[in-house]
Chain A
Amino acid sequence: MPFTKILIKIFVRGFYKRHLGLLVFSICTFLLYGFFIAPLNQTHLTKDEITAYNLIVVLTLLENPFMLIVFYVILLVYVVKSAQYVLQQLKDKQNLFLRYSTTALGYTRQWLHWSFVQLLLLIPFLIYCIFSFLVGLTYEYYVASFVLVAFPLLVIAICGIIYTWQINKLSLGEKQVFSLGVYRWRKPIYGIFLYHIGDQLKIALLVTKLVVVLVFVVTNLLVSSEDVFVSSYIKALGIATAHSFLIYHLHQFKINYLGLLKNLPVRRVYIFFVIGLTYLIITLPEHLILLLNFDSTIEALGVILFGISIVSLYQVTLLNSGITLIKFIKIIFLLYVFYFFMVFFPYWWLAIPLNFLVAYSLFYRKYYQ
């Protein structure tokens, strides 16, 4: 079926490609931890007993309504995430052709195709559901087994209806994000990235801020609050890294829409600091919280400059030709690990001017390439 084939290429492959890391991590953790973990000094359990305990884990889902509800909540979070991806892709201009080709099919056929897409997106959960269903039937939990499988199927059918309705809607979502007055404000080069974040990256910004909250919580738990210097620098590194996803998108925006900048008489050093300035503005609340911990202004300034220097390094890595999101994430991960351990060394702050120097030298060389 050409329709299904194209939907799989665009939506299913795209979704799994983007979320592969998270899925592999979650599934492996669940399987390894739930079923295959070997307790230390385990001598008292026989092989049959281990199998029996594993079965109990599976059957608890069927036996205990609370566990079933927990499972459904996790499933629904996943469904919302996948549906969000599909609906976002539907708005992409490169998928506009689907609106004036596939909509010529009857609604039922469209619904079947879209439901199949959602079914493929739910494969990790469906495999577990079918496994539990078979175990449930074997142990005569007939009603619970059918309920377990029926719910995801119902969700798939509903998602199919939503996608079919969405693609047939007489609208491309041509809404203005800001009121007309805001669009008429001045837009200097240093502010243009802020407009882009407000216009297109609001959800990404929100998710980034949630990650930042997590960074603060985890750092407070792991690092002693008395060691203000180390704790603040680790937080600053975490904040910069959490914003790397936004940095990537701002770079894409620069490539796709601001190519003309290279032809304008704008100095390289100015362009270099624009991303850093944008970063500073969107992270003002986080940095203000960090600054409250310091008595000395110079030390506080060091933390801010450290964050900007890291972001400058991150943005420069994007100037390498052919860099993909996956490669970018790998580089960010390596830099993060490196700087995380460096923070514990004395005279660490010397890295700040060094970062700027390396970042600007690379930027200077690669900007016009």
Chain B
Amino acid sequence: MLKITAFEKSYGTRKILEIPSLHLPTHIYWVKGSNGAGKSTLLKSLAGLLSFKGEVILEERYNLRKKPNAYRKLISFSEAEPHYPPFLTGLDLIKLFAYTKGTSTDSATPYLTDLGMTDYLPEVISTYSSGMLKKLSIVLAFLGSPKMILLDEPMNTLDEASKHIIYQWIEEKYSKSQVTFLISSHQPLVFTNQPPPEILLVAQQTAQLVDYALH
């Protein structure tokens, strides 16, 4: 699914991450690590937002460095702290993401209905609370037909009911469409119909898969 080789990311002279080799088959991954370990840096790099050394290849074909456009079509990303221009409406963003992901605006309706967002969608972003912004960014990440969805701290600022709904979406997207998830979180991910997620531990300037039972 996703192959990372000779990956290296530094800020100035400070090395943040070094991953010699990592292979992630289709699955749900819990990206775990302490504050400042490099979880967001890893997710942003995989989303094609940060420069890095090395290779990131999706489905054996789409090299982020060589075919960034084809790669980005198959990746969705939701930021830990989403920011959007305050004068845009939620609907503007839904339309934009639907258009760029090659899907219809209507495909967002089930997600918006589930989270009870339809009423405030025509309002401008400046009127949204942090929880509403978070929900919107997650809905945007689910639009289209991505092969991998990167969610950076998706459960932060969400109420319990919304968390439950998003867990259901993740399970459904994974089981029906074989979408891989990389989810960074400080709380354990709790799925009702799936086995525990694989753990991708980000620590000591590297990332590696570890046994769930040990963590």
> What residues of A have a CB within 8 angstroms of the CB of B11 in the complex?
174, 176
Q: Is the CB of B100 within 8 A of A3?
A: yes
A10 touches B72 (CB 8 A): no
**Which residues of A lie under 8 Å from residue B73 when comparing CB positions?**
104
List the one stretch of A43-51, A95-103, A119-127, A192-200 in contact with chain B: A95-103
B69 in contact with A9 (CB, 8 Å): no
Q: Chain A contact residues: over half helix, strand or loop, or mixed?
A: helix
Enumerate B84-109 residues with CB–CB distance to A below 8 Å.
Answer: 84-88, 92-93, 95-102
The distance in angstroms between the C-alpha atoms of A121 and B93, with both chains bound, is: 23
Residues of chain B within 8 A (CB-CB) of A100 are 47-49, 72, 75-77
CB closest residue in chain A, given B76: A100
Say how far B7's CB is from chain A's closest CB, in angstroms. 13
Interface string of A86-118 (1 = CB under 8 A from B): 000000011111011111111100000000000
Q: Which residue of B lies closest to A97 (CB)?
A: B84
User: Number of B residues whose C-beta is below 8 Å from A?
Assistant: 39
Residues of A within 8 A of B84 (CB): 94, 97
Closest to A105 in B: B100
- Interface members, chain B 1-56 (any A CB < 8 Å): 11-13, 44, 47-52
Which residues on the B side are within 8 Å of A104 (C-beta)?
Answer: 69, 72-73, 100-102, 144
Q: Are B68 and A9 in contact (CB under 8 A)?
A: no
The answer to whether the Cβ of B140 comes within 8 Å of any Cβ in the partner chain is yes
Are B49 and A99 within 8 A (Cβ)?
A: yes
Interface residues on A, range: 20 to 34
Q: How far is the CB of A56 from chain B (nearest CB, A)?
A: 45
Q: Mark out the residues of chain A between 7 and 21 whose CB falls within 8 Å of any chain B CB in the assembled complex.
A: 9-10
| Contact B140–A101 (Cβ < 8 Å) | yes
**Given A94-B86, A168-B69, A6 and B96 touching (CB < 8 A)?**
yes
Question: Is B82 engaged at the interface, CB distance under 8 Å to the other chain?
Answer: yes
Contact A2 B77 (CB under 8 A): no
Residues of chain B with a CB closer than 8 A to A41's CB: none
Shortest distance in angstroms between B8's beta carbon and chain A's nearest beta carbon?
Answer: 13
B83 in the interface, Cβ–Cβ < 8 Å?
A: yes
Q: Other CB < 8 Å A-B pairs besides A107-B69, A169-B51, 6 of them?
A: A2-B99, A6-B96, A9-B92, A97-B140, A99-B48, A171-B50
Q: Could you list 22 examples of A-B contacts with CB < 8 Å?
A: A2-B98, A3-B96, A6-B88, A6-B92, A10-B85, A93-B83, A95-B85, A96-B83, A97-B79, A100-B76, A101-B97, A101-B100, A101-B101, A102-B96, A104-B100, A104-B144, A105-B100, A168-B69, A170-B65, A170-B68, A172-B44, A172-B49
List residues of B whose CB falls within 8 A of some A CB. 11-13, 44, 47-52, 64-65, 68-69, 72-73, 75-77, 79, 82-88, 92-93, 95-102, 140, 144
